[in-house]
Structure 1
Amino acid sequence: MAAAAALNDVQISIPEGQTESKQRQQPDFDYSQRAQWLRAAVLGANDGLVSVASLMMGVGGVNKDVKAMILTGFAGLVAGACSMAIGEFVSVYSQLDIEVAQMKREKRRGMGDNEVVVVQETQKEKLPNPVQAALASALAFSLGAIVPLLAAAFIHDHKVRMGVVVAAVSLALVVFGGVGAVLGRTPVVKSCARVLIGGCMAMAITFGLTKLIGIGGLEM
């Protein structure tokens, strides 16, 4: 009887140990670590998509020529990608300067040599890269801007072209919003709706104001 009781105790304790081991081996992932690069990527793609599409819709409101829309969109792509890259480079470089200055201040506090080395090595691994951030931002903007350009490039009928651009951009906005929500583990429907409504409002406002100016007598 004593041996059987001991055996039962062993059989019960093994699953508990395995459960604790699995829990230790599978810690919860900190999704806040993705926040910085995810914000830059989603912002860049959405900015390229919405700004270039809005420019093309505005021009399309007063000019039916497909070449005018494509040239406007391409100019917006190049100008926007350069602007995003420069802005991200300057912003991240400023952040880098602040963090390096903080490292120097910590070194002057009189910490031991070994402690200083450990702290500096750890901080250097986390320092932002301005060039990488600039390239990523420009690439994300360009990827978003390509969508309306491709949607309008092969359609000759003006009304159909405008409708296809709106449809393609709306679909891309939903996709970008959904991808950002999934990667960040945030509500998908809310994220998609927010991005879609904002993008459609930007296109509608640009189209309406440009059309109003065109009706007022300005010809292209």
Structure 2
Amino acid sequence: MANTNQTTEPQPSLNKMKLAIPDDSDKNAQTKQGLEVEVFDYSKRAQWLRAAVLGANDGLLSTASLMMGVGAVRDDVKTMILTGIAGLVAGACGMAIGEFVSVYSQYEIEVAQMKRENSIMTRNALEDKKRGLPDPLQAAVASALSFAMGAAVPLLAAAFVKDYKLRLGLVVGNVSFALLGFGGLGAVMGGAPVVKSSLRVLVGGWLAMGVTFGLTKLVSSSGM
């Protein structure tokens, strides 16, 4: 005889069942949030990086080109080294002063624009916005130091070499490696293509040294 007291538990209706299905929108939001954390704003480095890279390249190219120009007409090491030192000092001072004046002018223009656009801005709010502007002194120091560092490369390459042809070759070789290094460093720190940037800097350096050497040699041979 069947047990009439036996009760059966109600089965859950399929219509009422809730499945924990992951929401793709949540995944996308989390992914986007993760990407936002990982992305670095390279524009924050733009001001001092630009000054440092330009200073180093100018130090390399201008000093090496001066030394190559003098080497085209004089084969003694003393004249070449003195020319390089004069180029280093003059170039570092010129880069620092020029960068300071340029960036400070930009700073003044942007501050004046802020004041015109925000006439009711409080003093504290204006000071906070000023902190985000480029620093003229930082740019000047970066330019001077990087120029001197770049200019030291050809000077050190030529300082202890007596042979004329070997000295010129070492200057060109060392400057070429330094140009590749500075170009690659600037590309990495700025998030740009490394190979393309390095080769562009290298070819420009060869062109500058070659033109200076050739024109100086031409002027000297003409008897001027």
TM-score, normalised via structure 1 length: 0.85
Q: Distance in 1 between matches of 2:42 and 2:96?
A: 25
Picking from 44, 54, 75, the partner of 1:64 is 75
The 5 Å alignment of 1:1-220 reads 9=20, 20=30, 23=34, 26-108=37-119, 111=120, 116-117=122-123, 119-218=125-224
Q: Distance in 1 between matches of 2:191 and 2:176?
A: 22
Q: Distance in 1 between matches of 2:35 and 2:183?
A: 33
What CA deviation, in whole Å up to 9, does each residue of 1:103-156 have, x standing for no partner?
A: 332343xx3xxx534631331211332222211111111111000000000111
Q: Give the direction of change, closer, same or farther, for the CA distance of 1:188–1:25 in structure 2 (3 Å limit).
A: closer
**Greater C-alpha Rg:** 2
174-183 or 123-132, which deviates more: 123-132
Q: Give the direction of change, closer, same or farther, for the CA distance of 1:152–1:201 in structure 2 (3 Å limit).
A: same
One-letter amino acid of the counterpart of residue 20, structure 1: Q
Q: Which runs of 4+ in 1 moved over 4 A?
A: none
Q: Distance in 1 between matches of 2:223 and 2:46?
A: 47
Q: Distance in 1 between matches of 2:36 and 2:68?
A: 52
What residue in structure 1 maps to residue 8 of structure 2? none
Secondary structure of the structure 2 residue equivalent to 1:97: helix
What CA deviation, in whole Å up to 9, does each residue of 1:33-83 have, x standing for no partner?
A: 222222111111000100000000010111010000000000000000111
One-letter amino acid of the counterpart of residue 145, structure 1: A
Q: CA deviation at 1:30?
A: 1.9
- What fraction of aligned residue pairs are identical, expressed as a percent? 62
89-98 or 41-50, which deviates more: 89-98
Q: Distance in 1 between matches of 2:186 and 2:70?
A: 30
Contact 2:53 2:182 in 1 (8 A): yes
Q: Distance in 2 between matches of 1:36 and 1:131?
A: 11
One-letter amino acid of the counterpart of residue 153, structure 1: A
Q: CA deviation at 1:186?
A: 1.1
Contact 2:47 2:134 in 1 (8 A): no
124-133 or 46-55, which deviates more: 124-133
One-letter amino acid of the counterpart of residue 182, structure 2: F
Q: Distance in 1 between matches of 2:35 and 2:182?
A: 34
Instruction: Kindly indicate which of the two structures has a greater share of residues assigned to helix.
Output: 1
Q: Distance in 1 between matches of 2:80 and 2:133?
A: 41
One-letter amino acid of the counterpart of residue 174, structure 2: A
One-letter amino acid of the counterpart of residue 30, structure 2: E
155-164 or 122-131, which deviates more: 122-131
Runs of 5+ unmatched residues, structure 2: 1-10
Runs of 5+ unmatched residues, structure 1: none
Secondary structure of the structure 2 residue equivalent to 1:126: coil
Q: Give the direction of change, closer, same or farther, for the CA distance of 1:127–1:187 in structure 2 (3 Å limit).
A: closer
Q: Distance in 2 between matches of 1:118 and 1:37?
A: 25
Contact 2:47 2:139 in 1 (8 A): no
Q: Distance in 2 between matches of 1:157 and 1:123?
A: 57
- Alpha carbon RMSD of aligned pairs, Å? 2.4
